[in-house]
């Protein structure tokens, strides 16, 4: 999965990842039932920490773009399930570990 990250931006990397994945969903590059790249793999591909990817995936889950299961990983769900809430701005969906 290709996601452009602007490391000089003030937008946190996890938010850039969320935006990139949502853009791929809306442009039909990712479709319902497509499995997202595992967090470890995507972290390596993007050269970010696994916790950064997990923050992004958790936000996508909170907004209703994906579902998770222990055996099935993280999958895109149908667009009629997407949360109508506005994107979170600036803060991760939960506190970052120190």
Architecture of domain 13-78: Orthogonal Bundle (1.10)
* 59 pLDDT higher than 80: yes
pLDDT confidence tier of residue 61, bands split at 50, 70 and 90: very high
CA gap 18, 46 in Å, rounded: 13
9-13, 59-63, 70-74: range with lowest mean pLDDT: 70-74
Q: Structure pTM? A: 0.81
Q: Kind and range of the H or E element at 52?
A: helix 50-62
CA gap 14, 61 in Å, rounded: 13
Tell me what pLDDT residue 90 has: 54
* 75 pLDDT higher than 80: yes
Nearest residue to 57 via CA among 83, 93, 30: 93
Q: Which sequence spans correspond to the domains of the chain?
A: 13-78
- Please give the structure tokens belonging to residue 8: 């000089």
């Amino acid at each position: 999965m290709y996601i452009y990250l602007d490391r000089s931006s003030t937008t946190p990397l996890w938010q850039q990842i969320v935006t990139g994945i949502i853009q791929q969903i809306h442009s039909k590059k990712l479709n319902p039932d497509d499995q997202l790249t595992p967090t470890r793999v995507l972290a390596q591909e993007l050269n970010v920490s696994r916790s950064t990817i997990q923050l992004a995936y958790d936000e996508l889950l909170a907004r209703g773009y994906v579902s998770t299961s222990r055996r099935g990983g993280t999958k895109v769900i149908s667009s009629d399930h997407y949360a109508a809430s506005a994107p979170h701005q600036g803060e991760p969906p939960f506190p970052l570990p120190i």
